[in-house]
Amino acid sequence: MTSSTAGEPRLLPDLLTPWVDSQPDVRAVSFGDVSYTWAQWHDRINRVAAALTSAGLDRGGRVAVLDKNHPACIEVLFAAGSIGAAVGILNWRLAAEELAFVINDCAAEIVFVGHEFIDVLNTIGDQVATMRQVVVIDGHGPDSYQAFLESAQPAQASASPDPDDLLMLMYSSGTTGHPKGVMLSHRAVIAHTRNVGSAFPFEATDINLVAMPLFHVGGTCYALIGIAAGIESMMTREPDAASLGRALHSGSTHAFFVPPVIAAFLDAGGPAIEAMAKLRYLGYGAAPMPLPLLEKALATWPGIEFIQVYGQTEVAGVATILAPSDHHDQNHPEWLLSAGTAVPGCEIRIVDIVTEQDVAAGDQGEIWLRTEQRMTGYLNQVEASAATITSDGWLRTGDVGRLDDTGHLFVEDRLKDMIITGGENVYGPEVERVLLQHPAIADVAVIGIPDEQWGEAVHAVVVTSQPAEVADIISFCRQQLAGYKCPRTVEFVDALPRNASGKILKRQLRNPHWADRGRAI
């Protein structure tokens, strides 16, 4: 393992070193019935690093992990980082052709795969040019992860990685075209761990529940915060009710969930609510939190410190945080609709979409970020990288928002989701927040659909918890918003399509309306 000579971590393995030295026999990670102390975990990671080296990997090499949550993913990440190699953590929900694309794109030489995904990997084997070895994470025999790990003796890494070396590839959700590989360096990941870690205070006996998918920054980069703090990480294979319930009853004190998970606990009632109440800190984000849901959660669990986060994979995760105290500020109830303020080391600009000049406080524009957490770029996509990162280091998020005079960020929409009706701009989340206050609406997405008179018309796709009339929904909205912002039409569905991180796939909702037209605006 590499250690930092200056005391501050420079490379990913530096996060582990202090705890191996100071508390080698304390539990570091648990997964079902298996657990490892810091010394045992250090030994395993060093063995994986040695095995990677024996397999021909060195600085600049690439491997991939295709599995549901498993400690092996984090072990491979630390091991690869110690020799200067990089890991693509793949979304196991991708279709076979998409997986073939991302494995080729990241040029993975070794793929670590869970047994559930061996068949899909076999079907694309002849389509993947660089893959020369498959290691089955939870398998048995010569191709198993355990055999791979035991094939080499622990050894200090001989490579000398640089903080700017590629460490991790996280692929975008692929809502448009092929997924984009977000390149995150050691520097970016370490900066994120440092900047965001201060928002999640830990005590020595705390347990960090790692439940969100590791192919998402809300999984892996959140896990690193607990590791850096030297506390136990309790990992669940999936964020299902049974697994989360067991983890909460087993002493988890900190967690990060997407809003639908929080809603599911509230809906389950009784024992589920009691289990969640055991947490001290609960981070939430990756998808908008409806105000009624947030208010209900705050009222249901007054003993939990809620932390909202906003960010992107392109900044290794979190750029702003709504602190626990902001959730209860009587002088600023509107902050419950905000994404909070910038984490340390992150600058925010709100830029006019046309002129790219800063707008006045309170005005809407594109959110730009500048931080050491920023990605290096998109793998193999020079033009997309240049279109996203400015020459002076700002990241164009593609999100629309505004800053109030206290520095609180309000995220209004995605640029591509903006609706232009009769020359007026309508930002969907503003309409959605109002509609979610309707007593019959459980979930909603607002999109633009073709309109011969206005160009686009505001259209609401809603999931209801009880019968509702279209006229009543529109009237309810008109009581709180300008007429042009209110939906002209309403569609009822059983559920809204979402990606793995919980974001609504609005493109799927739009496509049927725009299918026979040459453009989608």
Cα–Cα distance between 405 and 390 in angstroms, integer?
26
Which pLDDT tens digit goes with each residue over 462-488?
999 999 999 999 999 888 887 888 999
Cα–Cα distance between 396 and 382 in angstroms, integer?
15
Which pLDDT tens digit goes with each residue over 85-108?
999 999 888 878 888 999 999 999
DSSP code of residue 158: -
Average pLDDT, the chain: 91
What average pLDDT does the segment 374-392 reach?
95
**Of 201 and 414, the one with more pLDDT:** 201
Do 85 and 110 form a contact (C-beta atoms < 8 A)?
no
Cα–Cα distance between 406 and 397 in angstroms, integer?
21
Closest Cα to residue 139, out of 121, 155, 166? 121
Q: What's the pLDDT score for residue 430?
A: 79
Cα–Cα distance between 87 and 217 in angstroms, integer?
13
Closest Cα to residue 213, out of 314, 80, 90? 90
pLDDT tier at 157, thresholds 50, 70, 90: low
Rg over alpha carbons for the chain, rounded to the nearest Å, is: 23
Tokens of 190: 């370490």
394 membership: H or E segment, kind and range: none
**Of 259 and 51, the one with more pLDDT:** 51
Q: Lowest-pLDDT range, 38-47, 130-139, 168-177, 326-335?
A: 168-177
Strand partners, 133: 110
Q: What's the pLDDT score for residue 154?
A: 77
Do 461 and 444 form a contact (C-beta atoms < 8 A)?
yes
Q: What's the pLDDT score for residue 483?
A: 82
Could you tell me the end-to-end alpha-carbon distance of the chain, in angstroms, rounded to an integer? 53
pLDDT tier at 415, thresholds 50, 70, 90: confident
Which pLDDT tens digit goes with each residue over 267-324?
998 999 999 999 999 999 987 788 888 999 999 999 999 999 999 999 999 999 999 9
413 SS3 class: strand
DSSP code of residue 12: G
pLDDT tier at 453, thresholds 50, 70, 90: low
Q: What is the pTM of this model?
A: 0.83
Residue 3 has pLDDT above 60, yes or no: no
